[in-house]
Structure 1
Amino acid sequence: MNSLSIKNLNKTYENGTAALTDVTLEIKNGMFGLLGPNGAGKSTLMRTIATLQEPSSGTVLFNGIDILEDPSFIRENLGYLPQEFGVYPKISAYRLLDHLAILKGIVSKKERHEQILYLLQQTNLLQYKDQAVHSFSGGMRQRFGITQALLGDPKIIIVDEPTAGLDPEERNRFNNLLSEIGENIIVILSTHIVEDVRDLCTKMAIISNGTLILEGNPEKEIDSLKGKVWMKVISKTELQEYKDNFNIISSNLNSGKLHIHVFSEQQPNSGFNLISPDLSAVYFTLLSQNQLKK
């Protein structure tokens, strides 16, 4: 069983921006979802775990080893798919993977060849092995990104906003691949897409403005909101009035009408209907409550 222990992690940039504030997490094998809006601090946390940047203070232990003191330990066991994954132009998928495998320390040509073909098969890219990666579609490029992350049999994989911009079919294919990978190792899924965490993860955390505001099980967190989320259809001109008088956690247009969701221990007024909460309700409720504290 692999373990990642993050304790009291802080990161403040030179301009005074606090990107992380006292973040503490315990992560074991399986899919772990890290949710938060853009700019919440997710990428800063991922880069710190990957030892691409140093925190201002705190500790990060991977399988009992302090990776801030010994970054080579996690680098030898890490697969990383950053939000922006660049590739060399005009180089085939196979050649690029072979180059990356050498950089990861796989010195045997036979071992590299067998591992590359196996991973391309797993990610449904084998037939494109001689095609230049820069010509791949967005979904194919993300699957290639996972292929390179799996080189060297890592014990922990970090994927940062992997399904942003993918069409629904590619997103489902990519998520199924992540789910298979996450059975025996740690997979940290950093995203602002609530549905990806709901579909894949048994453990999750929500981060906002660099602060951890939740760590738990998605289903249990959804259960905690039962009987407390209400919906009403209003006109757009009424929105500000309702914002002033109710705790609106989200609003969306549906068939041209504005649907508002409100968090309340009891029925807000006669026009509201009780609805079954989902992970989006958990996410938006916590973000709303966190904003009210500021």
Structure 2
Amino acid sequence: MLSIKNLNKTYANGVHAINNVSLEIPNGLYGLLGPNGAGKSSLMRTIATLQEADSGSIHFNGLDVLRQGEQLRRQLGYLPQDFGVYPKVSAIDLLNHFAVLKGLTNSAERKQVVESLLQQTNLWDARKRHLGTYSGGMRQRFGIAQALLGSPKLVIVDEPTAGLDPDERNRFLNLLAEIGENVVVILSTHIVEDVTDLCPRMAMIVKGQVLVQGEPNTVIETLKSKVWRKSVSKAALAEYQKQFTVLATRLVAGQPQINVFSDHQPDDSFVAVEPDLEDVYFLHLRRSAAESVSLAA
């Protein structure tokens, strides 16, 4: 169990990146959902002991993370948002190098671990290729391989599927699901489907604050019978956006189709639709933006 209580972090430029965050994260995949710049990476770096918090606490299986960072790092696997590799080094050679840095000094044990991870991440056949020749998805899978060195109890992956094609995304998410059976895995992402498809529990963070948390299905249930859909003309779209809380707009056969949040059917031309996590996501983004405008005024 990872327990975060009343965590705060403000940078020198005045940005309050983590604003009184409290989360209880059990074993398994946990989704941290939010737009770019929401504070997800700041929270991940603080948990990973790469930066200090201003106040609050983090405990992992009884360990005081903010005071015992070295002990936490022995149990941590971390894949940051920007994971660089040496392009002219083979995967097996670089993973072996990382294993040495991780403390796997016994050569026979290290060889077994490295080969096992390359097989687990489906990189065995490409193990001797230079990393510079890898696709984006292959590099991400290599990133997970290095994060799993030392059998970590806590794994943090920050925006791991951004830019991946659908096949690579599925391979990567399936790999995370396998890993999450036995350890705490935090998946930080702005991609709603990643959380919907995989995570038994999640939290949404916007401007450093946790706006909603819980099981995705329970969170979605809060919008039951409150999402309505209608096709509108392009000329009328702006007026609907002023009049209603428009959650999403999609072009269907060249015509805008809007999802609107309302406690009651806006009028007979709207039809009720089953909400999904994307509707929840956009509702909280719209509310957060409206509050910012109100405060600025």
**TM, length-normalised to structure 2:** 0.96
1:133 to 121, 128, 131: 131
Provide Cα deviations, 1:99-133, integer angstroms capped at 9, x if missing partner. Answer: 11111111111111001111111111001111111
Unaligned runs of 5+ in 2: 293-297
Tell me the equivalent position of 2:178.
180
Q: Which moved more, 1:234-243 or 1:197-206?
A: 234-243
Is 1:77 paired with 2:68?
no
Tell me the equivalent position of 2:62.
64
1:224 to 196, 217, 222: 222
Residues 79, 156 of structure 1: 8 Å contact kept:
yes
Counterpart of 2:230 in 1: which secondary structure? strand
Provide Cα deviations, 1:21-69, integer angstroms capped at 9, x if missing partner. Answer: 1000011100000000000000000000101111111111111111111
Number of corresponding residues: 292
1:122 to 120, 125, 146: 120
Shift of 1:255: 2.2
**TM, length-normalised to structure 1:** 0.97
Provide Cα deviations, 1:225-284, integer angstroms capped at 9, x if missing partner. Answer: 111100111122212211221111111222211111111111011211100111111111
| Distance in 1 of aligned mates of 2:36 and 2:113 | 35
Tell me the equivalent position of 1:242.
240
Task: Give the 5 Å matches for 1:238-277.
Answer: 238-277=236-275
Task: Give the 5 Å matches for 1:66-215.
Answer: 66-215=64-213
User: Following superposition, which runs of at least 4 residues in structure 1 exceed 3 angstroms of deviation?
Assistant: none
Q: Which moved more, 1:30-39 or 1:248-257?
A: 248-257
| Distance in 1 of aligned mates of 2:77 and 2:69 | 14
| Distance in 1 of aligned mates of 2:165 and 2:87 | 24
Is 1:233 paired with 2:246?
no
| Distance in 2 of aligned mates of 1:49 and 1:254 | 42
| Distance in 2 of aligned mates of 1:135 and 1:231 | 45
Shift of 1:292: 2.7
Unaligned runs of 5+ in 1: none
Residues 4, 57 of structure 2: 8 Å contact kept:
yes
Shift of 1:89: 2.7
| Distance in 2 of aligned mates of 1:71 and 1:78 | 10
Q: Percent identity?
A: 58
Letter in 1 for 2:47: I
Q: Which moved more, 1:284-293 or 1:116-125?
A: 284-293
Counterpart of 2:85 in 1: which secondary structure? coil
Pairwise CA RMSD: 0.9
2:29 to 20, 28, 31: 31
Residues 33, 201 of structure 1: 8 Å contact kept:
yes
